[in-house]
Structure 1
């Protein structure tokens, strides 16, 4: 009798929850960066199954992907994203400054609102014919580097800062030496791709360049599309820890009535199934048990953070990527 009564009230509670969700809205737009396309393609059905279980309702999940800075500008200009899932804090900070995202968004979720991490690695031609092993090799004469535009994409900015941090860490390293080093590296780039996937297409399909610098996770996506025998992955001696902050776009969810759904969608990224999906897409999970399970997939590499070396994105972005910053100074001499 007690068990039947408890089951009845549980059923009623779930039904009411489902009705409240349907009343709010059952469609969600996730505006994200270029390279995350395959991860969210896998994650969305995982979350939809979870949502069906807990609410009894069906939901529509839509994705939008391009260069990260292009995406946040689109959201600022009116693209109705319920959530943003970006690859650097400065892009979400931009939306916070516009009043679209909470200024304390990094405290709304664990791990500074970054459910997984990555790092920048070298993707080279089969056999590594140019013997590229570390950042110093990328400034050698005759080496062509493919990377997205450092001023306009998160992928490109992480590459830029990773090279800068490497130079600072060398004997006699200082800001002047780092700027000179990054300038020599950029001179070896025949072009700047529009985004991470465009850089991959340029390297793999157009056969341009000797090395593609990209997120560790991109290597697996290349393997799925082109085959593992077409390239090799080189881990440099040190690289940057790439964090991927997520946030709810407050003005949109409040207008559309999708706040509960948006909150649940992002919360579930930290769940065991969410972390498992991240690891399967070669994104380093935050969950220690999941990371341990996939230890052979993620080689140990010494990393530094933007906070540790550059004082955070709030300082790094204007110093390097705003008009008149170090990138502009270097590019004028390129």
Structure 2
């Protein structure tokens, strides 16, 4: 993946920092996805300190965590969120369609407003007893899976899309065979928790399933957790998987109502700064800053990342075909 310079963002941050911008609010609410809890517990205090140093103002950052799609629905229903740090473009697009986020949100920051990204990998039990190596192994009759519900979790939609893209490549785009493959994978799911953290609990604490499908960064964090180190879990990185970009956006309608646009924008820009990019890499995200990418090159295994939009079309088309009511996901789960 080509990584472009983010110098323009740093220039913009400097301009804001040197100005006499006065926030009209003393708080900011960030809605994020389930397994980003530890990430923003570390990032938020750094931004609070940065904002205080640059503007002389105190700011309190409140956090909301849930499945990415659940967060979007809550915002649609009136939840007053200033910024979203989601794991799926379709959840931001749902806000765009209702006039809550501006159409040009993806052009406001580099890399389509995605300061970091990941992919889907497989977490297996000690010794990899089912000999899991690739997506093909996940449709075997003797393998049971755990991942979150694609209806409520962006993480799970990436797991679904990872399987679909693998089958698309394997079967040269033959949709009947692709549907059969993905249908078999869904039939092997033992538990569909609402969000990603629930899936982790089901697999790691409750002993459900042979394989947990979730983000690479989450699996690496599980291995590093003292709570799970004695269980000997192993990460299996398939040769190819889905590119999972994590989009961020100001919730324009709320930011304008609350007078929080300046601080909300600065918060998202802060995610691109070198120190924050390094911090994000510490939580096992793949990041954009070229220097940090070089520093962490040995940390992340090679995997061919497939961008869903390059195979299946724009995100709105993917959402309509696969995840809308009575779309392909519903059809396959009803079989």
Q: Same-fold call, TM > 0.5?
A: yes
Query: Alpha-carbon deviation of 1:15?
Result: 9.9
The Cα offsets for residues 241-295 of structure 1, whole Å up to 9 and x where unpaired, read as 0011111111111111111100100011000112111101111011121011111
Partner of 1:312: 314
Unpaired runs of 5+ in structure 2?
Answer: 1-15
Instruction: Report which of the two structures shows the higher radius of gyration computed on alpha carbons.
Output: 1
Structure 1 SS opposite 2:209? coil
Give the equivalent residue in structure 2 for 1:17.
Answer: 20
1:201 equivalent to 2:196? Answer: no
**3-state secondary structure, aligned to 1:190:** strand
Structure 1: tracts of 5 or more residues without a match: 1-12
Greater helix content: 1
Contact 2:33 2:87 in 1 (8 A): yes
- Give 1:168 deviation, angstroms: 1.0
Instruction: Indicate if the aligned counterparts of 1:148 and 1:194 stay in contact, CA closer than 8 A.
Output: yes
Change (3 A) 1:331 1:143: same
Contact 2:270 2:276 in 1 (8 A): yes
State the alpha-carbon separation in 2 of the partners of residues 222 and 249 from structure 1: 31
> Once the 2 structures are TM-superposed, how far is the Cα of residue 151 of structure 1 from its aligned partner?
2.3
What do residues 87-109 of structure 1 show as CA deviations (whole Å, max 9, x unaligned)?
11110000011111011100011
Change (3 A) 1:14 1:218: closer
CA shift digits 1:90-137 (9 cap, x unpaired)? 100000111110111000111000000000000000111111010000
Counting only pairs closer than 5 Å after superposition, residues 81-92 of structure 1 correspond to structure 2 as 81-92=81-92
Out of 246, 250, 253, the position equivalent to 2:252 is 250
Q: What is residue 264 of structure 1 aligned with on the other side?
A: 266
Aligned length in residues: 318
Instruction: State the TM-score, normalizing by the size of structure 2.
Output: 0.92
The corresponding residue for 1:290 is: 292
Which runs of structure 2 are paired with 1:140-219 in the superposition (5 Å)?
140-219=140-219
Give the whole-Å Cα distance in 2 for the aligned partners of 1:96 and 1:71. Answer: 14
The question of 1:135 aligning with 2:174 is answered: no
**What's the offset of the Cα at 1:221?**
2.5
Q: Report what 2:11 is aligned to.
A: none
Q: Is the 8 A contact 1:148 1:192 kept in 2?
A: yes
Query: How far apart are the structure 2 equivalents of 1:102 and 1:74?
Result: 18
Contact 2:204 2:228 in 1 (8 A): no
Contact 1:26 1:261 (C-alpha < 8 Å) held by counterparts: no
Q: Residue 73 of structure 1 corresponds to which residue in structure 2? A: 73
Name the Cα RMSD after superposition.
Answer: 1.5
Q: Distance in 2 between matches of 1:31 and 1:86?
A: 8
